[in-house]
Amino acid sequence: MEYEYVRIANDLQRQIESGKIPAGGKLPGEIELADVYRVSAGTVRRAVRELRERGLVGTLPAKGTYVLGKRDST
């Protein structure tokens, strides 16, 4: 069984990789994502942390969480 935060992180990753949330795009806020996925803000926070650990997003204090551009593999 998959943890909810992993399921959410995987879904958001698919949206990032498909271009639905483009590089430089801002992720919706914690409250909005919690509403969409019907989970607590803490679960969303953990999902976003997972995306940061995967190198997909970066968070700017008091600004929000943004999708990072693709890194060169060279």
The CATH architecture of the domain made up of 4-67 is Orthogonal Bundle (1.10)
Which pLDDT does position 74 carry in this prediction? 47
- pLDDT by position in tens, the chain (length 74): 889 999 999 999 999 999 999 999 999 999 999 999 999 999 999 999 999 999 999 999 999 999 998 655 44
Which pLDDT does position 24 carry in this prediction? 96
Which pLDDT does position 8 carry in this prediction? 98
Domain ranges of the chain: 4-67
What number of CA atoms fall less than 13 Å from residue 49's CA on the CB side?
Answer: 7
- How many angstroms separate the CA atoms of 56 and 13, rounded? 8
